[in-house]
């Protein structure tokens, strides 16, 4: 199958990639660029494990084609910590045990980051509804939600 040449920026780094026309952004990140932090749970847009931020908007990477990401600025979990310094959301999830197996964690973190960028002071209900697209089978959500609210508070400097 003839491949297409795309260029994109991921976490501030420029990449060239050859992608098949039907190949998703998720497969492009994972298989072509070897950035495996973004996870696949369903490939149908129902679990949120593949959440990334494309040009400032939260997206399921499994619902977008690689060719559609040509020229885009993509943020993934690999770019969330700044060097040694964890993002407050990462820190809160660690401290409050907001993860068990950790497979949903990268997606949850990207989705929560997008939430706090839009709404720095979400209520618990708003947080639960915003993260309703991110399935977690381990935690029962309690400690996940708590972690996000704690991080939001810290980021507001409250």
Partner 1 sequence: MAHDILDNSGFSADRKLKIVGTNPIKHDGWDKVTGAAKFSSDIVLPGMLVGKVLRSPHAHAVIKSIDTSAAEKLSGVKAVVTRADFPEIKEGTPYGDMTRMVIAREKVYHEGHPVAAVAATSESIAKRALKLIKVEYEVLPHVIDPVEAMKPDAPVLHAYMRTKGAKPGDAKVWADKASNVVERYELGVGDVAKGFAEAEFVVEHVYDTKPMHQGYIEPQSCVATASEEGEVELWCCTQAPFVYRDRLSEILKMDSSKIKVQQSELGGGFGGKTAFYAEPIAIQLARKARRPVKITFTRSEVFRGTGPVSGTQSRIKIGCRKDGTITAAEAELVFQTGPYSGSAFTNAPQAMFTRYDLPNVKTVSYEVVSNRPKVASFRAPCVPQVVFGVEDVMSELATKIGMDQIEFRLKNAMADGATTIYAEKFGKIGFIETLEAAKNCEHYKSPVPKGCGRGISTGFWFNRGGETSSSLQVAPDGSVTITLGTADVAGSRISISMMVAEELGIPVDKVRAVLADTHQLGFNRVTAGSRTTFSQGVVLVDCSRKVIKEMAGRAARIWKVPEEGVMFEDGMFRPASTNVGEFKPLSIADIAKQTTNTEGAIAARSDMNVTGAGPGFGCHIVDVKVDEETGFTEIVRYTVVEDAGKAIHPLQVEGQFQGGAVQGIGWALNEEYIFGTDGKMQNPGFLDYRMPVASDVPNIDTIIVEVPNPKHPYGLRGVGEVPVVPTMAAIANAIGNCIGIRPRSLPMSPPRLLKLLKEKKGKA
Nearer to partner 1, 57 or 125 (CB): 125
Q: Does 131 bind partner 1 (CB under 8 A)?
A: yes
Task: Provide the token pair at 124.
Answer: 């618990």
Q: Which stretch binds ligand FES (CB under 6 A): 14-22, 39-47, 82-90, 120-128?
A: 39-47
Task: Provide the token pair at 62.
Answer: 């499994």
What residue 77 binds from partner 1, ligand FES, none (CB within 5 to 8 A, per partner kind)?
A: partner 1
Nearer to partner 1, 14 or 84 (CB): 84
Q: Which of residues 66-95 bind ligand FES (CB under 6 A)?
A: none
147 in Cβ contact with 89 (< 8 Å): yes
Q: Phi first, then psi: what are they for 52, rounded to 5°?
A: -140, 170
Task: Provide the token pair at 7.
Answer: 């260029």
What residue 145 binds from ligand FES, partner 1, none (CB within 5 to 8 A, per partner kind)?
A: partner 1
Nearer to partner 1, 58 or 109 (CB): 109
23 in Cβ contact with 65 (< 8 Å): yes
Given 39, 53, 69, 114, the residue binding partner 1 (CB under 8 A): 39
Q: Does 100 bind ligand FES (CB under 6 A)?
A: yes
Given 25, 35, 50, 54, the residue binding ligand FES (CB under 6 A): 50
**How do beta strands 57-60 and 4-10 pair?**
unpaired
Task: Provide the token pair at 148.
Answer: 């996000």
Please give the Cα distance from 90 to 35 (Å, whole number). 18
């Amino acid at each position: 199958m003839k491949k297409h040449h795309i260029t994109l920026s991921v976490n501030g780094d420029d990449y060239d990639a050859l992608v098949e026309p039907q190949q998703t952004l998720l497969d492009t990140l994972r298989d072509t660029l070897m950035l495996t932090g973004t996870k696949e749970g369903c490939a149908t847009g129902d679990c949120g494990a593949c959440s990334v931020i494309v040009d400032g908007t939260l997206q399921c990477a499994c619902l977008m084609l690689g060719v559609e990401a040509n020229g885009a600025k993509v943020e993934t979990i690999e770019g969330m910590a700044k060097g040694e310094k964890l993002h407050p959301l990462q820190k809160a999830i660690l401290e409050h045990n907001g993860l068990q197996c950790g497979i949903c964690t990268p997606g949850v973190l990207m989705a929560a980051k997008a939430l706090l960028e839009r709404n720095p002071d979400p209520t618990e209900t708003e947080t639960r509804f915003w993260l309703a697209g991110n399935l977690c089978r381990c935690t029962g959500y309690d400690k996940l939600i708590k972690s996000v609210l704690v991080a939001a508070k810290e980021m507001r400097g409250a």
